[in-house]
Amino acid sequence: MQQREEKQLESSLESIIQRVNDLKASLSSMIMKIETEYETLNWPKFLDNYALVSGQLISLSKVLSHDKCTNLRNLTVLPLMLSPERDEQLVQMTEGRITTFSYDLVPDYLRTKLEPLAEQKMMQLELKAQNLQYDNAQKQIAAYQKVVSHVWDIVNKAREEWEVEASSRGSTQQNSSVADTHLLVAAVGMGKNLKMGGNPNGQPNPTSGGMMVAPQGRPGGPPGQGPIPPSTQAMSMNKAPSAIKTNIKSAAQMHPYGR
Mean pLDDT across the chain: 77
Q: How far is CA 11 from the centre of its chain?
A: 42
What pLDDT score does 235 carry? 47
CATH 1.20.58.1710 is the classification of domain 1-75: yes
Backbone angles phi, psi at 83, to 5 degrees: -150, 135
Q: E strands within the chain?
A: none
Handedness of CA 208, 214, 219, 222 (dihedral sign): positive
Backbone angles phi, psi at 101, to 5 degrees: -105, 75
Pick the residue with more confidence: 213 or 124? 124
What pLDDT score does 201 carry? 55
Using a pLDDT cut of 70, give the percent of the chain over it: 72
Distance CA 134, CA 132 (A): 7
Whether pLDDT at 145 is above 90: yes
Distance CA 130, CA 61 (A): 32
Distance CA 6, CA 12 (A): 10
- Long-range (24+ apart) CB contacts under 8 A made by 241-245 are 241/209, 242/196, 242/198, 242/204, 242/205, 242/208, 242/209, 242/210, 243/196, 243/197, 243/198, 244/198, 244/199, 244/202, 244/204, 244/205, 244/210
Pick the residue with more confidence: 140 or 252? 140
Q: Which amino acid is at 255?
A: H
Distance CA 169, CA 104 (A): 62
| Average of per-residue pLDDT across 110-124 | 86
Contacts of 61 (CB under 8 A, 6+ apart): none
| pLDDT tens per residue across span 154-180 | 999 998 988 888 777 655 556 678 888
What pLDDT score does 101 carry? 87
Domain ranges in the chain are: 1-75, 81-112, 115-156
Distance CA 72, CA 12 (A): 10
| pLDDT tens per residue across span 78-94 | 888 888 889 898 898 88
What pLDDT score does 165 carry? 82
Distance CA 245, CA 51 (A): 79
| pLDDT tens per residue across span 9-28 | 888 889 999 999 999 999 99
What pLDDT score does 193 carry? 79
